[in-house]
Amino acid sequence: MNTIITILSFLAMIAPERVDSVVLPEIDIVASVKMPDSDEKGAYSVTTVSRAALENRHVNSVKELTSVVPNFYQPDYGSRMTSSVYVRGFGSRIDQPVVGMNIDEVPVLNKNNYDFDLFDIDRVQVVRGAQGALYGRNTTGGAINVYTLSPMHFQGKRFTLEYGNANSIRVKASHYAAPSKKFGWSSSVYYSHSDGFFMNKELGVPCDGGDNVAMRLRAQWLPSDHWSLDNTFTMGYADEGGWAYRQYAYGVLAPVAYNDPCSYRRFNISDGFVVKRFFDGFTLSSTTGLQYIRDRMRIDNDFLPLEYFSMGQYQNEYSVTQEFVARSKGDGAFSWMGGLYGFYKHLDMQAPVTFKQYGIDNLILKNANEYWYHLLPGDRELSFRDDSFTIYDDFIIPTYGAAAFVQLGYNVGEFELSAGLRLDYEKSSMDYDSRALVYYTTYKNNNDYFPMPVSFKGNNSLDAVELLPSLSLAYNKDWGSLYASARKGFKAGGFNTQLFSDILQSKMSGALVGNEPNVDASSTMYRPETNWTYELGTHLSPLSSGALKLSVALFYIDCRDQQLTVFPKGMGTGRMMSNAGESFSYGAEASIAYKLGDVTLNASYGYTHAEFREYLSGDSVYSGNIVPYAPRETMSANIEYRLPVSKEFANFLLLNVGWSGVGRIYWNEKNTLSQAFYGLLSASLTWEKGAFGASLWGKNLLDEQYNTFYFRSIGNDFFAQGKPLQLGVSLHINL
């Protein structure tokens, strides 16, 4: 199939012009396998952003849906690798995410792939609340479903050229064809570049620029009225800087200044193959996903203009997923859906940490000489031969899992009762090899250095069985629906790979004073996190014209075995995930869409109060404090106005003005640091005449100064700042 698609892509140059006369099949080949046909029919909170809205608002990534989707926050900081997502008060900075992502029904298993540029996207659907019964692992906060543009729904050629400040360039080109009502294919390419918005004062160059290129090939075939086949192949490459972190001390943010350059490279391939068989009473589907990612991160881990230490991370991961789903169709009183799911992924990772002279002197030698060697007789002083050494951390982590799920629905008049259950099992193991070699002497002015090898090798494994129920009751009328639901979700456990450099430092420090510790490897693992989401909500469409749509939801979330990022005390360099807390959150969200003539209004609001019910970290008690990193409020408003113009001048002239707000965000468990509520203003003016169009656009038009992230390293505080004012122009052609 991939070979056929590749050959077809090269035929784009000689393909015929847009075919408007194709009669599309009655079967909807791109209909969702699991979700209802309409957002108004689901007993859950959901926001769907259409292709027109994405393009008119110049949304280039899922991160830019922050606040547009109520209680959804994906901060733009670091690099594409740092794809942290927070929903309704909960999120994850490292390792397992709280939301799952599916692209054309295929789950994305590595969150390093979550941050990609959106091009030729039909719609993005964000479902909030635990979705464990339907989607399984890592959906405690919901699911992001991305659907690419189908050649069975659109035919033609598309080209876009965009330029903005910081020498930002975007180029998109695609061709969609349906030679018959039974077959359609498409090919798309994308390229973007930016010099970067933040300057590293130490190196004198921007630190967050980069390049990104991607391509997509898709083929859809209806061999008969009972079968559909859909294959999408995607390949991408990103090469960028990042991590524009600024030291914070005594209430002042210093400029970005670190001496080791940072970078992130990612090469990824994915292929999704969906086969559907349509029977009289139900549909059977098979979804197969193949994914490969190879990425490389290099980072100045102290983010200071000092020779402390730097870190690399090199990942090579491949995965396969397979899901079978059977779903009833029709309008009968009884409905059902069930399926089987399995996955396997294999990760090879190397994470070397290189200690440099300043780090050696202050993190290792200083402590040893001040607290041990000065007590010994003679002219004792520990020193190393070399001005740097590397701790090598190598990991092999295979993970596999299987699940079976069922969901039943029954209509009694205007009431619909739905119950689901999923049995999920997964197992993961880790082979680790952490090692270092240093040459040392214990006497002043001694030129005889002795080798000291230190290693930490072994294997850990963990498995989990999760039973994930869901229950909902809906009351459906012509004007909308009311619903109540309870759903369970879980976030998978894992391994603290970033802890190994600290473990080896501890073993090395002990060996240097003749007391190497016997380290317990239990701290390198953490268990799954679970939550229950309870929700009351409504979807309303009170006008017969459908011009007004309103959704409101109230929710309560009970989180157990919460996975929290914990930093070692003092001058530690690593971080670890620990099941350290229990939390709860409650809140509300509302969204409205209204169309009156040439004016379209969209607005949303989300409120969340997330609090630690129990959290003890060493001698510190954080119970009763606000859970950090997730905003208390999100707001957005967007208005589109088709200005009245003559047909000789334009097909249309569209003014789009949007505002989004986020805050307050607490940055630490003590709740002593926070980001106040801030708002960002954006606008665009789009002209289109015939096949040609142009747009002037701007983001963060008031140049608001705000922070998107905070962390602490070796006793220092750092913040990441949000992007400044952005202006640009876009030209597009649709044939």
According to the model, what pLDDT value does residue 407 have?
A: 95
Residue 550, phi then psi, degrees to nearest 5: -135, 135
Would the pLDDT of 314 be above 80? yes
For 361, 524, 683, the CA distances from 386, given in Å and listed in that order, are: 11, 30, 56
Measure the CA–CA gap between 345 and 110, rounded to whole angstroms. 9
Measure the CA–CA gap between 148 and 156, rounded to whole angstroms. 15
**If 0-12 CB within 10 Å is exposed, 13-18 middle and 19+ buried, where does residue 447 land?**
exposed
Q: Where are the extended beta strands (E) located within 20-92?
A: 45-50, 72-73, 86-87, 90-91
Residues 567, 573, 575, 580, Cα dihedral to 10°: -30
Question: Can you give 446-470 as a three-state secondary structure string?
Answer: CCCCEEEEEEEEEEEEEEEEEEEEE
**Poorest-pLDDT segment among 30-44, 84-98, 174-188, 391-405:** 30-44
According to the model, what pLDDT value does residue 30 have?
A: 65
According to the model, what pLDDT value does residue 447 have?
A: 82
According to the model, what pLDDT value does residue 568 have?
A: 55
Count the neighbouring beta carbons within 10 Å of the beta carbon of residue 392: 18
Q: What rounded mean pLDDT belongs to the chain? A: 89
Q: Which of 77, 79, 576, 572 is nearest to 298 (CA)?
A: 79
99-103/142-148 β-pairing: parallel
Judge whether 337 and 297 are in contact, CB under 8 Å: no
Q: Where are the domains of the chain?
A: 2-183+196-734
- b (16+ CB within 10 A) / e for 228-259: bbbbbbbebebbbbbbbbbbbeeeeeeebbbb
Would the pLDDT of 422 be above 50? yes
According to the model, what pLDDT value does residue 375 have?
A: 66
Q: What is the pLDDT of residues 444-460, one digit of tens each?
A: 778 888 898 988 899 99
Average pLDDT for residues 555-569, to the nearest whole number? 81
Residue 240, phi then psi, degrees to nearest 5: -145, 165
According to the model, what pLDDT value does residue 428 have?
A: 95
Average pLDDT for residues 471-481, to the nearest whole number? 92
Would the pLDDT of 430 be above 50? yes
According to the model, what pLDDT value does residue 135 have?
A: 94
Average pLDDT for residues 419-428, to the nearest whole number? 96
CA atoms within 13 A on the CB side of 150: 21
Please state whether 88 falls in left (phi above 0), alpha (psi between -120 and 50) or beta: left
According to the model, what pLDDT value does residue 446 have?
A: 80
Would the pLDDT of 81 be above 50? yes
Q: What is the pLDDT of residues 9-58, one digit of tens each?
A: 333 333 333 333 344 445 566 667 888 766 677 788 999 999 999 999 99
Residue with more model confidence, 525 or 677? 677
For 59, 161, 174, 654, 695, the CA distances from 730, given in Å and listed in that order, are: 13, 6, 16, 14, 5
pLDDT band per the 50, 70, 90 thresholds, residue 215 = very high
DSSP 667-685: -STT---EE--EEEEEEEE
pTM for this structure?
0.91
The length of the chain, given as a count of residues: 735
pLDDT band per the 50, 70, 90 thresholds, residue 621 = confident
pLDDT band per the 50, 70, 90 thresholds, residue 440 = confident
Measure the CA–CA gap between 683 and 638, rounded to whole angstroms. 9
According to the model, what pLDDT value does residue 20 have?
A: 37
Average pLDDT for residues 238-265, to the nearest whole number? 92
According to the model, what pLDDT value does residue 723 have?
A: 93
According to the model, what pLDDT value does residue 108 have?
A: 94
Residue with more model confidence, 269 or 359? 269
Measure the CA–CA gap between 516 and 306, rounded to whole angstroms. 29
For 128, 206, 675, 712, the CA distances from 719, given in Å and listed in that order, are: 28, 17, 10, 9
CATH code for the structural domain at 2-183+196-734 = 2.40.170.20
Judge whether 303 and 318 are in contact, CB under 8 Å: no
Q: What is the pLDDT of residues 116-156, one digit of tens each?
A: 999 999 999 999 999 999 999 999 999 999 999 999 999 99
Measure the CA–CA gap between 80 and 151, rounded to whole angstroms. 29
**Element of type H or E holding 534:** strand 529-540
